[in-house]
A and B are shown apart, each in its own frame.
Chain A
């Protein structure tokens, strides 16, 4: 059973760059899945950030596209999120997730536990 684990700094200064990594274990990142980042501001709902396929295909939320980069390191079986020019509005729990092999018809069937990132000076 695949497991996902986020890691990265829990505190980022305003105007800085938020960088997180999602380590995938129990399965290869080169399978037929899209690998995704979702965030949740404190006490709020879920927001899709973007996703990547092992072929290099990418898709980002237009609301964040100018600031987001998602990348993948197949040798380490992990993928990453970089969000630049952060503000307090980017304070959230960040989740990595796997889109099932069914793709858009299957939903996110595996999630990391989430990591809280606060943007503060």
Chain B
């Protein structure tokens, strides 16, 4: 199965700063099949980005995704208070579909 490794495990930043989250895969797959979710405490995950770079409905443009092959990135250009959460990447390239272990973005 494809293992997704997210880094860093925790990102401590202040509102207004830029966040860069990495998701690296154990093998390459089509960028069409890389998805990002945001999860806040006590809530279900929320779809942020699909197809590596396409924002889901209602997602603000401060969120952007990029990458290809086995190396993908989620960028939050300027952190808003509501962006502090855990972010997961997921691949649909090869079954079983797998998730990264998550990156927690916390307030510094």
Assuming A61-B96, A105-B33, is B50 touching A46 (CB within 8 A)? no
Residues of B within 8 A of A45 (CB): 88, 99-102
A45 CA to B90 CA in the complex, in Å? 11
Are A63 and B44 in touch, CB under 8 angstroms?
no
A97 CA to B45 CA in the complex, in Å? 10
A47 CA to B49 CA in the complex, in Å? 19
Residues of A within 8 A of B51 (CB): 102, 105-106
A112 within 8 A of B: yes
A63 CA to B32 CA in the complex, in Å? 25
B18 within 8 A of A: no
Residues of A within 8 A of B56 (CB): 107, 109
Are A47 and B33 in touch, CB under 8 angstroms?
no
A interface residues with partner B (beta carbon < 8 Å): 45-48, 59, 61-63, 95, 97, 100, 102-109, 111-114
Selected A-B contacts with CB under 8 Å, 18 pairs: A45-B88, A45-B100, A45-B102, A46-B45, A47-B99, A48-B98, A48-B99, A61-B96, A62-B96, A95-B44, A97-B44, A100-B50, A105-B51, A107-B35, A107-B56, A108-B37, A109-B57, A111-B46
